[in-house]
């Protein structure tokens, strides 16, 4: 596609429910990253992939958060048993390779846990 | 203390003014320094990137890195209303791949 596509754009869920956020990176981009951005803050790193391999998941807050990219393209970030503190903008980015300096960000998924 | 500190502003200046945006950082391993621009309801977009110390100029934008002081700056000359956005500094180490560490962002408004 022309850019990084994330879906849904907005997600409201009840506390305790599981949610899955989807990222479709730019075609041909090897590296894919997940960030979380709270209102008025900069993005905070969660995890990243090269192809289908998860290279670093040190930013995932706890074991309720997981991510996968099974075929090296589309990625899913899953949050289990959501809590109100999980409410934030979740942003995906992709780049040609991990040493490429330019990562292109998607428009994000705004998650609200009520 | 955060690894990257950035004054959130807001900063409001008249059209045509020179704007100076700054970040300080604490991790001496950071080697790549970026400035992202983020318009409302949009994702961040890369504006400038600098490796190690020095200056880089691109049109009306100049990025400066002073590693000895752990201080980076972005200057915008002849500022335009279309420059109104949030500016985020970001940085990473050589080993850090794209594990970018962002500042809080400075909200900038250019008044016509």
**Mind listing the pLDDT tens digit for each residue in B93-104?**
887 667 899 999
**In chain A, which residues have their Cβ closer than 8 Å to the Cβ of B34?**
101
Q: Check residue A2 and give its pLDDT.
A: 78
Q: Show Cβ contacts of residue B62 under 8 Å, excluding neighbours closer than 6 positions.
A: B55, B56, B74, B75, B77
CA A91 to chain centre: 5
Q: Does the distance separating the beta carbons of A91 and B102 come in below 8 Å?
A: no
Maximum C-alpha span of chain B: 43
Nearest CA-CA distance, residue B90 and chain A, Å: 9
Q: Does the distance separating the beta carbons of B104 and A42 come in below 8 Å?
A: yes
What pLDDT, in 10s, does the model give residues B68-91? 999 999 999 999 999 999 999 999
DSSP A84: G
Find tokens 């972005």 and name the residue.
Answer: B74
Q: Does the distance separating the beta carbons of B32 and A43 come in below 8 Å?
A: no
């Amino acid at each position: 596609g022309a850019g990084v596509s994330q879906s849904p754009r907005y997600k409201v869920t009840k506390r305790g429910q599981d949610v899955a956020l989807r990222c479709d990176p730019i075609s041909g981009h090897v590296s894919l990253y997940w960030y979380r951005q709270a209102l008025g803050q900069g993005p905070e790193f969660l995890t990243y992939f090269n192809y289908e391999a998860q290279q670093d998941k040190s930013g995932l807050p706890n074991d309720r958060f997981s991510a996968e990219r099974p075929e090296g393209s589309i990625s899913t970030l899953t949050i289990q048993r959501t809590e109100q503190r999980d409410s934030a903008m979740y942003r995906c980015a992709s780049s040609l390779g991990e040493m490429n300096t330019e990562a292109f960000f998607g428009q994000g998924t705004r998650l609200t846990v009520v | 203390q955060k690894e990257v500190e950035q004054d959130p502003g807001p900063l409001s200046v008249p059209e045509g003014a020179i704007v100076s945006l700054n970040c300080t950082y604490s991790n001496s391993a950071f080697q790549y320094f970026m400035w992202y621009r983020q318009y409302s309801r949009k994702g961040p977009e890369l504006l400038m990137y600098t490796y190690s110390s020095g200056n880089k100029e691109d049109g009306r934008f100049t990025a400066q890195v002073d590693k000895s002081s752990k201080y980076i700056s972005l200057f915008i000359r002849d500022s335009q209303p279309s420059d109104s956005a949030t500016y985020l500094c970001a940085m990473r180490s050589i080993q850090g791949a794209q594990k970018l560490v962002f500042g809080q962002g400075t909200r900038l408004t250019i008044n016509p």
